[in-house]
């Protein structure tokens, strides 16, 4: 399934200490926009959900939804799903 942000968002990629990658969406662009953030509406491919043996570093999640963004496989924080829609 193809997905996109509902409107243009500032986003970046995070990597935790276990090597798991996350898509982070900036909450307030005026306060926290940095050089490593990207602004736009990239197309994402939904890859399903992934279960983890132990809680993740960011948020202590056991199950995360996975997408592919620009060829990079990342997890999305549950609170950011409200900003995503079908393309």
Query: pLDDT tens digits for 59-69?
Result: 777 788 999 99
Q: What is the mean pLDDT of the chain?
A: 85
**How far is residue 6's CA from residue 71's CA, in Å, rounded to a whole number?**
20
Number of domains in the chain: 1
* Cα–Cα distance for residue pair 72/33, rounded to 1 Å: 21
The answer to whether the CB of 4 falls within 8 A of the CB of 85 is yes
Ramachandran sector of residue 81 (left: φ over 0; alpha: ψ -120 to 50; beta: rest)? alpha
Q: In what order do the strands lie in the sheet with 44-51?
A: 38-40, 9-15, 21-25, 72-76, 63-69, 44-51, 2-5, 84-86
Domain interval for residue 27:
2-86
* Per-residue pLDDT in tens (0 to 9) along the chain, 87 residues: 999 999 988 888 888 887 888 998 887 655 555 667 888 899 999 999 988 787 777 777 778 899 999 899 999 988 888 999 999
């Amino acid at each position: 399934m193809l997905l996109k942000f509902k409107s243009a968002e500032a986003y970046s990629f995070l990597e935790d200490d276990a090597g798991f990658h996350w898509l982070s969406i900036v909450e307030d662009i005026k306060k926290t926009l940095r050089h490593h953030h990207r602004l736009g509406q990239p197309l994402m491919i939904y890859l399903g959900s992934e279960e983890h043996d132990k809680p993740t570093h960011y948020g202590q999640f056991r199950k995360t939804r996975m997408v592919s963004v620009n060829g990079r496989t990342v997890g999305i924080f549950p609170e950011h799903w409200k900003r995503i829609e079908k393309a």
